[in-house]
Amino acid sequence: MATASNRSCLQYLLHLAHDNLDFRLPEILSLICLRGKTFQPGENFRQNSPFWCLGGLTEEDICGVMARSVCAKSAFELWGHGKTHGDLRTSLLSYPPERMLPFMQKGSTYRINVYTFNKTLAFADRIKRIDALEYLPFEGTVSLKNPQHVFCLLEDYGSDPNNIPEHPDYIYFGRWIADGQRELIRSHSVKNRHFIGNTSMDAGLSLIMSNHAKVKKNDFVFDPFVGTGSLLIACSQFGAYVCGADIDYNTIHGKGRSSRKNQKWRGPDENIRANLRQYGTENLYLDVMVSDASKSVWRMAAVFDAIITDPPYGIRESTRRTGSHKDNFKTPDGTFVESHVPVSQAYHLSDIFTDLLNFSAHHLVLGGRLVYWLPIYRPEYSEEMIPLHPCLQLISNCEQTLSSHTSRRLITMEKIKEPELISYSEPDVKYNPSNMSGLWGVAPPSFPQGDLQDVDGLIHLAEPWSRPYQGHNAFREKYFSGINKKGGRQENKPDVNGGFT
């Protein structure tokens, strides 16, 4: 058999699913980074192609990536490739025999599959493709049901379904190594989940977010807008300990009206813990709590390996936080009785993202990642609208188009430094919050004497380039405006997309 050294650093072929195209490269990059390797694409790499040739990896690395990826279908050790079957033959015959023969020797069993992209071949044509590979020195026995080795011929007919060429644009042949985790999308479907809500995140996107965040075994992951816990389920699937918070008491405790058809009220065991129990990861569930994301209850320490969340956008879930526009809303002694229900007020999107980035800068470990969704009104979008923070580096920005004029972007950021803190009891403080009036969507926050504040966060808010994303406050009105992209006219019926929250 081939030794480990002989099987290292070969060229490998990934066959990717042709959906969520914008999310595929960041996912593969993150998973390769988890292996401590770099992304080394082959010549003529095209991001939107369903086939990627990669180098600089071992078979163990490929298996590690495929054990996590939901964007990749299969991975192969690439033995040959070319624009025509003649080129493929030349490439295969030049492949080192010592790397082929261990999988072709007498006494072994094998099968050859034919995959095509953007074209369906008749069964007879598939057989002809296989018969044309007779120049390969197979000495084993064919076994269609349970072969020891599987080989694949893959033909790429481009991506235009309206202009399918007679002959493939490119052809690959290789030994199958592993399949991706596409099955998790079906097994974790929201349709089959015990506890769901109006805005439960799609299973596939939840798993992609976990991979973008580089979530791994024994990580500590937090979702500050946890909802029904879809993101916690995905992270626990990869071995992370999970916890979350949400301002909605009924959602956290599984009470109130059900989101299911023909069911008026939620059952006694409809909660986030029951969801993790359904998928066998209850042991990784720490807890969830009712909490206001604008008022952190966590001690000032970097404890989370990843923060993954889908904030509310004001479409299907309101954006609220505790507080009042009145000057005094506490009882005379400054306390609340046990049955007190806090007054709530609007929580502008610009404030949500400011708080989220500042919270992440303080509570992520160095190298930890923040992954969240940002709603976008497409006609006005520009890269400058992405919220930034001096302690967080932008890693990727992927778009999911939802309508002609709206979309949401999956933002991934990584913590690169600790925030600098100052105390407002110091006499030589250089940053005066009162001078920053107008940079917040509401009145500037108050900083009691002696409080530690984030200098980096204040500098970020004071910079002119931080102002464009204040426009997210008007996103809800723009979403329901019903503007027709082609005619520029108003429509009476809003185009509500279930992907928004």
**pLDDT at 175 (0 to 100):** 98
Q: What is the pLDDT of residue 462?
A: 46
Cα torsion 230, 36, 175, 140: sign: negative
Residue 148: per-residue pLDDT: 97
Residue 471 predicted with pLDDT over 80: no
SS3 223: strand
Q: Report percent pLDDT > 90 for the chain.
A: 58
The distance between the two most distant Cα atoms of the chain, rounded to a whole number of Å, is: 91
pLDDT digit string, tens, across residues 35-75: 999 999 988 899 999 999 999 999 999 999 999 999 999 99
Please report which confidence band the pLDDT of residue 324 belongs to, taking 50, 70 and 90 as the band edges: low
Task: Give every strand in the sheet of 109-117, ordered side by side.
Answer: 40-41, 51-58, 8-16, 72-82, 170-179, 149-156, 109-117, 141-142
**Lowest-pLDDT range, 110-119, 212-221, 295-304, 414-423?**
414-423
Q: Where are the domains of the chain?
A: 11-179, 186-323+343-420
Per DSSP, 273 falls in state: H
Please, what is the end-to-end C-alpha distance for the chain in angstroms? Answer: 54
Q: What integer pLDDT is reported at residue 194 of this predicted model?
A: 72
* HEC secondary structure over 278-323: HCCCHHHEEEEEECCCCCCCCCCCCCEEEEEECCCCCCCCCCEEEC
The per-residue pLDDT for range 346-394, each reduced to its tens digit, is 777 888 899 999 999 999 999 999 999 999 889 889 998 899 999 999 9
Band the pLDDT of 316: cuts 50, 70, 90: low
CATH number of 186-323+343-420: 3.40.50.150
For residue 325, the model assigns a pLDDT of: 52
Other CB atoms within 10 Å distance of the CB of residue 193: 19
Q: Where are the alpha helices (DSSP H) in 123-192?
A: 123-131, 183-187
Q: What is the pLDDT of residue 226?
A: 92
Query: Measured on CA atoms in the order 466, 468, 472, 473, is the torsion positive or negative?
Result: positive
Q: Please indicate whether residue 497 or residue 39 has the higher confidence score (pLDDT).
A: 39
Q: For residue range 199-256, what is the model confidence (pLDDT) as tens digits?
A: 689 999 999 999 999 999 999 999 999 988 999 999 999 999 999 999 888 778 776 6
Which strand (E) or helix (H) includes residue 114?
Answer: strand 109-117
pLDDT tens readout for residues 124-166: 999 999 999 999 999 999 999 999 999 999 999 999 999 999 9
Helices (H), 151-265: 183-187, 203-212, 230-237, 249-253
pLDDT in the model for residue 442: 35
pLDDT attached to residue 258: 62
Q: What is the pLDDT of residues 414-459, one digit of tens each?
A: 999 999 865 544 444 343 433 333 333 333 344 444 455 565 655 5
- pLDDT confidence of residue 460: 54
Q: Report domain 11-179's class.
A: alpha beta
Mean pLDDT of the chain: 82
Write down the pLDDT at residue 297: 86
Q: At 303, is the pLDDT very low, low, confident or very high (cuts 50, 70, 90)?
A: very high
Does position 174 have pLDDT exceeding 50, yes or no?
yes
- Contact, 54 vs 14, CB < 8 A? yes
- For the entire predicted model, the pTM comes to 0.82
What crossing angle do the helices spanning 203-212 and 230-237 adopt, rounded to 10°? Answer: 60
The yes-or-no verdict on residue 468 having pLDDT over 70 is no
